[in-house]
Amino acid sequence: MADRSKDRKASPARKVKMEQSASAPPTSRGKEKAELQPKTDSPAVPSRLEQTISELQGLHELFLSGDLDPRILADFRDALNRVRTSAWAAQQYVARKETDQGSSSVLSLLVGERIRATYQLCQAISDDLKRPDIEFQAGNLVHLRNITKSLTEQLNGVIKKLG
């Protein structure tokens, strides 16, 4: 894959996310997910999925206009691929759960996909950190450093157990 992030500027969406996360302290992941995501058996889920499908169909027409920044389009495609993989894994998980089959292989696949996506994001962040034209906020960098230190320790432990 070509390194498309070499001359890329922070996209408006990335900059907004950086600014939003700077003001909010990190929260417990489980609590945050519970507050933000409705239960999958909730009537809101099909409605949100239908709304998202409609929005994606609208984006299709925008794509046909041809007036797109290639970097933003590439970021969108990466995000869409992650959603597709997650949707497939969720579908497999539900199907296996309904038939009392083990779901560990699906969960392992999903974790593998998260690791792949994290690797790609880390590569992009590494490239961004080298750019003098991007302004970073210290709070975001401190949070990132702290979580990567913790993750590195966990990874070392898992890797030792594997061999």
Judge whether 62 lies within some domain.
yes
Least confident among 8-12, 48-52, 110-114: 8-12
Judge whether 7 lies within some domain.
no
Ramachandran bin of 31, using left for φ above 0, alpha for ψ from -120 to 50, beta for the remaining angles: alpha
Crossing angle (nearest 10°) for helices 104-129 and 70-98: 160
Crossing angle (nearest 10°) for helices 12-23 and 138-162: 90
Q: How many domains does the chain have?
A: 1
Judge whether 45 lies within some domain.
no
Judge whether 81 lies within some domain.
yes
Judge whether 37 lies within some domain.
no
Judge whether 94 lies within some domain.
yes
Extract the tokens encoding 111.
């974790």
Judge whether 28 lies within some domain.
no
The residue that leads in pLDDT, 141 or 42, is 141
Judge whether 72 lies within some domain.
yes
Question: Using one digit for the tens of pLDDT, what is the confidence trace for 56-90?
Answer: 888 888 878 777 888 788 888 888 888 888 888 88
Extract the tokens encoding 156.
């070392």
Domain extent for 57: 50-162
The residue that leads in pLDDT, 94 or 158, is 158
pTM of the model: 0.52
